[in-house]
Chains A and B, each alone.
Chain A
Amino acid sequence: MRLALIGLAILFLAAFLALPLVAVFSQALAKGVGAFLKGLADPDALSAIRLTLTIAAIAVPLNLVFGVAASWAIAKFNFRGKSLLLALIDLPFSVSPVISGLVYVLLFGLHGSFGPWLRDHGVQIIFAVPGVVMATVFVTFPFVARELIPLMQEQGVEDEEAAIVLGASGWQTFRLVTLPNIRWGLLYGVLLCNARAMGEFGAVSVVSGHIRGKTNTMPLHVEILYNEYNFVAAFAVASLLALLALVTLAAKAALEWRFADQIAAAKR
């Protein structure tokens, strides 16, 4: 029975995860390493890579700060509207990414609520980098907070109270006591948030406008290339994206292995 279950799980994973992953890399290298590198060296592809990294570099730190602040508030204090805040944090998970993108178009697009005002002041959000960043921040918001809230709730407030009674300021308490207590959960949250920020398609697709070399991110660029039947280049970029995901997973596993005893101690 146990063998059958394990076998089933492995078979399922092989068919639905491993096989496509192998396919991505084999397609990318189908016409040799030269074609693969050429696909990546294309100026539009380089621009897409640069934009994706920029977006992650903005969205992840923002959500790190927001996520920690929101979890702190929810886990350690009681206030009116707490369950509303919790529901709002989950909103990006429950709403289709396309809708998240559309909301920004409705707000900041040319015909949107703030559109005319923004145009008069020479600010462009939709079909520009700011819009792409905002959509990504929205979609990746829950990752850090969702990771931290249960952890912080379980840890309670005694450690913080102990620090305060010993004379620590609020900031010292956070830096010396709270942050070390949540660092592993925080790291997981950041890694997941980063993976999603780089891979987000739906919301970004709606707000970006697909302007090559300007507002195209890696996932969007893959789609464009694919639609142009430029398979090798499409899979070359896709394989790079997949590689980023694999590196993220490997980093997580390595950290878990390296610091297993500390993680266990932190949970006690």
Chain B
Amino acid sequence: MAIEIRNVEKTFGAFTALGGVSLDVRSGELLALLGPSGSGKTTLLRIIAGLDHADAGEVSFDGQDTRDRAARDRKVGFVFQHYALFRHMTVFDNVAFGLRVKKKAERPAEMDIRRRVDQLLTMVQLSHLASRYPSQLSGGQRQRVALARALAIEPKVLLLDEPFGALDAKVRKDLRKWLRHLHDDMHITSIFVTHDQEEALELADRVVVMNHGQIIQVGTPAEVYDHPADSFVFDFLGGVNRLNGVIEAGVARLDGKAVRVDGAVGADGPAVIYVRPHQVELGVAPADGVPDGKWSARVSSLHAAGPVARLELDLAGRALEAQLSRDRLSDLALEVGSWCTVDFRHARVFPAKS
């Protein structure tokens, strides 16, 4: 099912949770709403589910306005951050809940309910725990019960609020992979909210980056990572060097030397140059000074475990992180305290915020 969101606004008292948000969710895609807390991502998810109501704007499912459809009639699957499992019911009864509360005319026979729940529990690999209570399960198991319960009503869209937020790192990674496979099998339109950029980039078909109740950028993980719309997205996706420079006559400069940058340069004035660690090019320092157009830096620390080496460099008093292959590192023969030249393969520049 496709979802169209048009100019949705929502305020809580004096706080603007959503300031006119528009978004098209394509049928069958797995979409991530990514942003810091207070960016409005959870509010948007709850408005789609019908748990909150927009002050203005509209949300439509396959072209049909949802304004008059209460949450219980929307047929959405919602997985809550803390699972919200019914603690006095067994795993089986939790999953069966959505089927048992249907109106008599639509309710499947008890035998069909059993078969369906068994099927779902097999799918989430929890058949052996059907008669347990939620308090007897681990976090990852609860999460899967919550998912099975949401899927029981055969929803047209699956909404997940910070689905992995309360889990430890290992379980998180496994569950992430598992959810991706599940989505590939079922192709149900899914939207999940997260503040973890790694999770969004790894799991989603498309990522929506939000901040202060606005959508900043929408794109595939590669688009968002390689072409961040602004300095916020760059900062939020993380793993980036920020170097203070200037823009003079349309040229970005760091310590007086020109920096080749992608995209627009912006107005003259103080600026921040963004470079990802793997875009930092290192070279052997020549004996007779630094070649023109390059910078020189000293290695302050070096981590060479795994296939990639990470270097902390001191570039005229600024900390700079660089990543390069182990082979390249041994070619350069760098160690802590040695000097090298620095260049940037790709960099972006944004005016510094005053």
Interface residues of chain A, those whose CB is within 8 Å of chain B, are 158-159, 161-169, 172, 176-177, 180-181, 262, 265-266, 268
With an 8 A cutoff between CB atoms, is B133 at the interface? yes
A177, B86: Cβ atoms under 8 Å?
Answer: yes
Report which residue of A159, A169, A181, A268 has the largest number of chain B beta carbons within 10 angstroms of its beta carbon. Answer: A159
In the bound complex, residues from chain A placing their C-beta under 8 Å from that of B88 are: 180-181, 262, 265-266
Name the one of A163, A165, A169, A266 contacting B49, with C-beta atoms under 8 angstroms.
A165
Q: A167-B102, A168-B97, A176-B101 are in contact. Are A162 and B87 (CB under 8 A)?
A: no
Contacting pair A167 B82 (CB below 8 A): no
Please determine whether B87 and A181 come into contact, CB atoms closer than 8 angstroms.
yes
Which of B237-275 touch A at CB < 8 Å? none
| B residues less than 8 Å from A180 (CB atoms) | 86, 88
Q: Which residues of B are in contact with A by a Cβ distance under 8 Å?
A: 49-51, 70-78, 80, 82, 84-88, 97-98, 101-102, 133, 135, 149-150, 152-153
- CB within 8 A of A158: which of B80, B135, B153? B80
- Which one, B51, B73, B153, contacts A161 given CB within 8 A? B51
Known interface pairs A158-B80, A180-B88, A181-B87. Does A163 touch B51 (Cβ–Cβ under 8 Å)?
A: no
A169 touching B101 by the CB < 8 A rule? yes
**Out of B51, B82, B133, which one reaches A165, CB within 8 Å?**
B51
A50 to chain B, nearest CB (A): 38
For residue A266, which residues in chain B have a CB less than 8 angstroms away from its CB? Answer: 87-88
Contact: A172 with B101, CB < 8 Å? yes
Residue ID in chain A nearest B149 by CB atoms: A166
Which of these, A162, A172, A262, contacts B78 with CB under 8 Å? Answer: A162
Least Cβ distance of B81 to chain A in Å? 8
Q: Is the interface of A mostly helix, strand, loop or mixed?
A: helix
Q: Which of B49, B70, B80, B87 contacts A268 (CB 8 A)?
A: B87
B72's partner among A159, A167, A177, A265 (CB-CB below 8 A) is A167
B86 touches A164 (CB 8 A): no
- Chain A contacts of B150 at CB under 8 A? 165-166
Most buried by A among B49, B73, B98, B153: B98
Residues A165 and B71 in contact in the complex (CB < 8 Å), given A158-B84, A265-B88, A266-B87: yes
B189 to chain A, nearest CB (A): 16
CA distance A70 to B163 in the complex (A): 34
Contact in complex: B84, A166 (CB < 8 Å): no
Evaluate whether A265 and B76 lie within 8 angstroms (CB atoms) in the complex, with A163-B97, A167-B101 already known.
Answer: no
Closest 5 A/B residue pairs (Cβ) = A166-B98, A158-B84, A162-B84, A168-B101, A180-B88
Q: How far is the CB of B343 from chain A (nearest CB, A)?
A: 53
When distances are taken between beta carbons in the complex, the residues of chain B under 8 Å from A169 are 72, 101
A-B contact pairs, 14 of them (CB 8 A): A158-B80, A161-B51, A165-B74, A165-B77, A166-B98, A166-B150, A167-B153, A168-B97, A176-B86, A176-B97, A177-B86, A180-B88, A181-B88, A265-B135
| A179 nearest CB neighbor, chain B only | B88
B72: chain A residues within 8 A (beta carbon): 164-169
Q: Name B76's contact: one of A165, A168, A177 (CB within 8 Å).
A: A165
**Complexed CA–CA distance, A169 and B75 (Å):** 13
Docked complex Cα distance between A162 and B150 (Å): 9
Q: How far is the CA of A169 from the CA of B102 in the complex (A)?
A: 9
Q: A162-B78, A165-B150, A181-B88 are in contact. List 15 more A-B contacts (CB 8 A).
A: A158-B80, A158-B82, A159-B84, A162-B86, A162-B149, A166-B72, A166-B149, A166-B153, A167-B101, A168-B72, A168-B97, A169-B72, A169-B101, A176-B101, A265-B87
A176–chain B nearest beta-carbon distance, Å: 7
Contact B101 A161, beta carbon cutoff 8 Å: no
- List, in ascending order, chain B residues with CB within 8 A of A161's CB: 51, 71, 78, 80, 84
Q: Bound complex: CA of A217 vs CA of B102, how far in Å? A: 49
Whole-angstrom distance between the Cβ of B323 and the nearest chain A Cβ? 42
Residues of chain B within 8 A of A262, CB atoms compared: 88
Tell me which residues across on chain A come within 8 A of B76, comparing CB atoms. Answer: 165
Bound-complex Cα distance A165 to B51 (A): 8
Q: Which residues of B contact A162 (CB under 8 A)?
A: 78, 80, 84-86, 149
- Bound Cα distance A160, B109 (Å): 25
B49 touching A159, Cβ below 8 Å: no
Q: Taking the nearest CB of chain B, how far is it from the CB of A161, in angstroms? A: 5
Q: Nearest Cβ in chain A — how far from B175, in angstroms?
A: 19
Q: What residues of chain A lie closer than 8 Å to B152, measured between beta carbons? A: 166
A265 adjacent to B80 (CB under 8 Å): no
Which residues of A lie under 8 Å from residue B97 when comparing CB positions?
163, 166, 168, 176
